[in-house]
């Protein structure tokens, strides 16, 4: 779709003055985007950037031309998305949004990549930013630019058993805190792993002491104003116990950090061989 057509889709909401501005892309987002240089011709890159009313991920479409992704500073994730994790593997990326990590897995040698999203973001993007975003718009735009083979499904993550496939690596980034039943999600992901396969998990952390065997419960809108889909915060021991419950007993907590005032936790949960 052309940029002019898409601009008609940006509808102000009733509470326009209360919505959040789309943040400026900073060098931190650009640094992460640069690990996947897309290398489009500048005119095409500008056209694609303007064709999507809101970007979640920052992509380096061409030298110096970045999409204005709203996700902040994913640099802390780079240690878990190296080629060593993806080369020759079958990868499932759940809650892919614009698909940055799917395209990165493909670029880093994954033999197959399946990306899934239920496009729940359409609702919170409208509520937080007053933008009507057609589901999958950013993903399709970048997929076309890359001539990507990543297989996209508009699907709930709880339904991925229906794909009828097993995966060596499941990326579960930015979603566990957004599902009402985190045990059901982790069990579903455990069920589609190959023996020895792993769920690489990044989710909302907690300021509770790491050894607290608990899950924090957030009020609607408490973490991000008007975002009513963010339910949970996970301390390390809470995640370890969840892993054990779903049969992924080999849990390593890789990082706990704070980005833009928000605690984040990164872990790997591995299936037995
Ligand atoms: C905060 S974004 C994270 C995007 C990306 N995974 C990342 O971390 O950079 C959460 C994504 O998960 C999707 N999502 C939330 N619940 C889902 C579910 N039950 N099934 C599939 N996708 C879901 C949302 O639509 C959104 O695209």
In a domain, 77, yes or no: yes
In a domain, 26, yes or no: no
In short, whether 119's Cβ falls inside 6 Å of ligand 1 is yes
Instruction: Check whether 241 has a pLDDT greater than 50.
Output: yes
In a domain, 204, yes or no: yes
Q: Which of 76, 93, 117 to mutate to test the pocket of ligand 1 (most atoms within 8 A of CB)?
A: 117
Distance from the alpha carbon of residue 97 to the mean position of ligand 1, in angstroms: 6
In a domain, 4, yes or no: no
Residue 247: which CATH number?
3.40.50.150
Question: pLDDT digits over 71-112, tens only?
Answer: 999 999 999 999 999 999 999 999 999 999 999 999 999 999
pTM above threshold 0.85: yes
pLDDT at residue number 20: 87
In a domain, 243, yes or no: yes
pLDDT at residue number 240: 97
In a domain, 32, yes or no: no
Instruction: Check whether 169 has a pLDDT greater than 80.
Output: yes
Confidence band, pLDDT 50/70/90 cuts, at residue 7? very low
In short, whether 118's Cβ falls inside 6 Å of ligand 1 is yes
Instruction: Provide the domain count of the chain.
Output: 1
C-beta separation of 59 from 107 below 8 A: no
Which range marks the domain in which residue 245 is found? 72-270
In a domain, 99, yes or no: yes
In short, whether 117's Cβ falls inside 6 Å of ligand 1 is yes
In a domain, 139, yes or no: yes
């Amino acid at each position: 779709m052309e940029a002019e057509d898409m601009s008609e889709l940006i509808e102000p909401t009733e509470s326009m003055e209360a919505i959040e501005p789309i943040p400026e892309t900073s060098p931190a987002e650009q640094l992460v985007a640069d690990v996947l240089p897309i290398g489009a011709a500048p005119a095409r890159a500008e056209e694609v950037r303007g064709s999507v009313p809101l970007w979640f991920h920052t992509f380096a479409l061409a030298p110096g031309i970045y999409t204005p992704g709203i996700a902040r500073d994913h640099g802390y994730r780079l240690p878990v998305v190296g080629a060593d994790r993806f080369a020759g593997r079958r990868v499932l990326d759940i809650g892919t949004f614009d698909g940055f990590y799917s395209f990165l897995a493909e670029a880093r040698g994954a033999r197959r990549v399946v990306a899934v999203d239920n496009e729940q973001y359409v609702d919170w993007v409208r509520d937080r930013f007053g933008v009507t975003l057609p589901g999958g718009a950013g993903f399709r735009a970048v997929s076309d630019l890359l001539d990507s083979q990543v297989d996209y499904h508009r699907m709930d993550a709880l339904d991925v058993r229906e794909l009828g496939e097993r995966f060596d690596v499941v990326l579960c980034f930015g979603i566990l805190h957004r599902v009402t039943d985190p045990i059901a999600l982790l069990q579903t992901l455990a069920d589609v792993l190959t023996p020895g396969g792993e769920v690489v998990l990044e989710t909302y952390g907690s300021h509770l002491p790491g050894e607290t065997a608990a899950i924090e419960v957030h009020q609607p809108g408490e973490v991000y104003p008007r975002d009513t889909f963010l339910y949970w915060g996970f301390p390390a021991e809470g995640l370890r116990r969840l892993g054990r419950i779903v049969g992924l007993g080999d849990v390593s907590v890789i990082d706990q950090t704070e980005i833009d005032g928000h605690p984040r936790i990164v872990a790997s949960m591995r299936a037995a061989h």
